[in-house]
Amino acid sequence: TECFEAGIQTFALLFTRWMDTNEWSHPTMVTLAKHAMNGVGWLHSSQISGLRHGRLMSPGPRTFYAIEQLNYYVWRYATTQKLIPNTDRSNDYRNAFAITEDGKPPTIGWWVAVFCGQITPKDIDLRASFFTPEQATTVSRNWAT
């Protein structure tokens, strides 16, 4: 349906904003999600690509659970400086930007509802320009290295 298609695109914007703000590459996000899940690798690079580009039409519950857990631990780090489990440094999440809803990390159900077009995120304006041209140049340069 139209609502579902819009949800996939909203999720793609949200997911991309989250990754880009934290300056995560696919391998970095896979590794951090695995650490957040106590060594369980339920988030893969191909899923990340599909979510970022709005092409993954039916991610499973494990994907959403891995995303929810990683986001929770990033939020916890941002608010308490407590590291993501099984990590010994914060270099990969030094910016510590977590997606929130009413200031708290959302539940797995929220992530699914955004993906399905049932909820629009409130705490982040996905329509607003995110990077200045200078920041975009820096981010692009960093991704190229």
CA distance 22 to 16: 10
Half-sphere exposure of 59 (CA within 13 A, CB side): 32
Give CA–CA dist 133/73, Å, rounded.
30
Three-state DSSP at 61 gives helix
Compute the distance between CA of residue 77 and CA of residue 59 in angstroms, rounded to an integer: 27
Tens-digit pLDDT string for the chain (145 aa): 899 999 999 999 999 999 998 999 999 999 999 999 999 999 999 999 999 999 999 999 999 999 999 999 999 999 999 999 999 888 888 888 999 999 999 999 999 999 999 999 998 877 665 555 665 666 666 656 5
pTM of the model: 0.86
